[in-house]
Amino acid sequence: MGTIHELSTVLADQIAAGEVVERPASVVKELAENAVDAHATQVDILVVEAGVRSIRVIDDGDGIATDEVRTAFKRHATSKITSREDLFRVSSLGFRGEALPSIASVADVTLTTSTGASGTTVHYRGGKLLQQTPAALRQGTDVTVTDLFFNTPARLKYLKSAQTELANIVDVVDRLALSYPAVAFRLVHNQKELLRTAGRGDLQQVIAGIYGVQNARKMVAVDGNDPDFTLKGFVALPELTRASRQYITLLINGRAIKNQQLTKAVIAGYGSKLMVGRYPLAVLDLRMDPLLVDVNVHPTKREVRLSKESALAKLISTTIRDRLANVNLIPSALTNL
C-alpha cells in the first residue's frame, strides 16, 4: 500500500462520473434536466450515432452568468439548493452539482451560454478547461458533448449496440416530455426527428405524440386525491397492453421515477382485466409535499424514498379500479384528439 493522499479533482470527478454518467442517455438526461431547471420553454436534443459521436442540447432558459460558468463545472457547485432545509424540499430536477463536472471529466464539452446580457463559451476536455472566449448568443444555453468516455476505455467497451443506446435516449426524452407538457421538446437522431412536443401543457397531446393517436384514444383520464397526494393522468383501457411494465410512467413532483410497489399498484388497479404477462400503458402525475419524498437516495435520482408509500399505492389502485369500473358508462374521454 502507498501513502494516503487526496485524489486530484479530475480523478475525483471521474469517479463521480462512474455513477452519474453511465451511458449516452445519462448525458442527455442531465443536460435536458438542466434546461428544464433553467425554465426553458424549448429544448432541442440533437444526437449523432446514438450519442456516441455527439450529443447537443440547446435551450432558451435562464443561461449562466459569464463569471459563474467555471463554477458550474466544479463538483458540488449548484445554484439550486443552499441549505440543509432545501435538501428536504428539492423542487428542481438537479441539486447535487455533479453533472457538468462529471460529464466534462469523461468527454469533450463545449458550452455556450448567455443570460441575455453577455455570453461566453467554455471548452473542457477530460476535466481540463482548454479555453474560454466571449460569445454572442440569445438567452439560453447550448452544450455539445463529443468523445464520450474517450479516457475511460472500460466504460466505452461497456456500451451496448447503437440501437440499445438510442432506445435509452428515447426513453429518457419521452419521460421528460411526459413530466413537462408545458415544455416543447425536440429529439433528433442522425438528422431524423424522433419526437416533437408542442409545449402547450397538454399531457394528452404529449401521450399522443409518444404512443400514437390511436393508442392515446384508448386511454382514459384518472383523477384522485387523499389528504397527502393528488393523482392525475391517463391509463389505458384493458384492451391496450404491452409485454413490459416499462410503459407505466410514474411522475413524482415532476420527476420520472422507478418504484416497484407503485407500479404493482397500477397493475392491481386492473384486477383481473389484464391477461397474464400483459401490462397497461399509464402516465401518472403524482403530487405531494416534497417532505414526503427523499430524492437524495441515488446519484441518478431514478429511485426515491417515499414516507407514505403504502397509502399512495392504495390511492393509485383504487383510483384506477374505480375509473375502469365506470369505463363503459362514460363516453370516450379523448374525443378531441
Question: Scanning residues 136 to 175, which ones bind ligand ADP (CB under 6 A)?
Answer: 141
- CA proximity to 34, closest of 122, 143, 130: 143
Choose the one of ligand ADP, Mg ion, none that binds residue 165, judging by a C-beta under 5 to 8 angstroms depending on kind: none
| CA 193, chain centre distance (Å) | 19
| Residue 97, beta-bridge partner list | none
- Three-class SS of 163-218: HHHHHHHHHHHHHHHHHCCCCEEEEEECCEEEEECCCCCCHHHHHHHHHCHHHHHC
Q: Residue with CB nearest ligand ADP?
A: 94
Q: What are the cell numbers at 258?
A: 422507478
Choose the one of ligand ADP, Mg ion, none that binds residue 127, judging by a C-beta under 5 to 8 angstroms depending on kind: none
Q: Pick one of 16, 45, 90, 100: the residue that binds ligand ADP (CB under 6 A).
A: 100
36 sits near ligand ADP (criterion: CB under 6 A): no
Angle, alpha carbons 96-101-102 (nearest 5°) = 85
Q: In what order do the strands lie in the sheet with 184-189?
A: 128-134, 119-125, 108-114, 140-146, 54-59, 42-48, 184-189, 192-196
Q: How far is the CB of 104 from ligand ADP (least distance, A)?
A: 9
Question: Scanning residues 55 to 74, which ones bind ligand ADP (CB under 6 A)?
Answer: 59, 61-64, 72
Q: How far is the CB of 13 from ligand ADP (least distance, A)?
A: 10
**100 vs 292, beta carbon nearer Mg ion:** 100
Task: Specify the residue for cell string 405524440.
Answer: 209
Q: How far is the CB of 61 from Mg ion (least distance, A)?
A: 12
Q: What are the cell numbers at 204?
A: 394528452
Q: Pick one of 27, 56, 58, 94: the residue that binds ligand ADP (CB under 6 A).
A: 94
**81 vs 207, beta carbon nearer Mg ion:** 81
Task: List contacts with ligand ADP (CB under 6 A).
Answer: 30, 34-35, 38, 59, 61-64, 72, 77-80, 94-100, 141
